[in-house]
A and B are shown apart, each in its own frame.
Chain A
Amino acid sequence: AQSVAQPEDQVNVAEGNPLTVKCTYSVSGNPYLFWYVQYPNRGLQFLLKYITGDNLVKGSYGFEAEFNKSQTSFHLKKPSALVSDSALYFCAVRRSARQLTFGSGTQLTVLP
């Protein structure tokens, strides 16, 4: 069965420092992986996805994610965090041709 884990409920980082939000997955076959962000009182917004090809995927707002097949991970990264990056981040993995499985979410707080 496909699943995705976000091991950290909360990540705090100082503004200007690099940030990492972790995601590991379990899926049969080729994984399709996604990151979404949710700002307060808003719906989820798509950040980036890995379908195939380069292991380093670049997305919106300066975010990137590295697909690591051997470690079954898809960590979200940004070289220099901004206070405005503070939000709830969700990793998702394709479960079937028609469905995604979402992780439980990681609250990122960037401290000024």
Chain B
Amino acid sequence: EAQVTQNPRYLITVTGKKLTVTCSQNMNHEYMSWYRQDPGLGLRQIYYSMNVEVTDKGDVPEGYKVSRKEKRNFPLILESPSPNQTSLYFCASSLSQGARNEQFFGPGTRLTVL
């Protein structure tokens, strides 16, 4: 089944404790992206990647890191999480030229930073 998977689905952590949210897709998509969803704000893009080893900042990259060492994986790293990073996070992927093609979304990761 074609899908985007994220782990963990739920995470409660404390301020300053490094964490990684994994994202993997099995559709051989070139484009991958991370979003955060907050009430009333819709989805805001954190980082995106056009292909392996090619990443770029989205609208709200502060406090986040990403890497794209393999085509299928695009982990999101929070080096020192803070409470304002409490949010619902989505990973997405699509064929090349992400803004022309529809994106496939993972199930989401709900992160709480205490």
Contact = CB atoms under 8 A, between A and B. Distances in A.
A98 B90 contact: no
A98 B106 contact: no
A99 B35 CA distance: 11
B34 to A, nearest CB: 12
Contacts, number: 61
Main secondary structure of the interface of A (DSSP, over half): loop
Interface stretch (B14-22, B38-46, B61-69): B38-46
Interface stretch (A13-21, A65-73, A78-86, A88-96): A88-96
Nearest to B91: A43
A34 B106 CA distance: 18
Given A32-B99, A99-B45, A104-B42, A43 B106 contact: yes
B50 A98 contact: yes
With most chain A CB atoms within 10 A of its CB, the pick from B40, B99, B108 is B99
B42 A43 contact: no
Given A97-B97, A98-B48, A45 B105 contact: yes
Interface string B85-99: 000001010000111
Contacts of B90: 43-44
B111 interface: no
Contacts of A46: 102-104
A36 to B, nearest CB: 8
A98 B108 contact: no
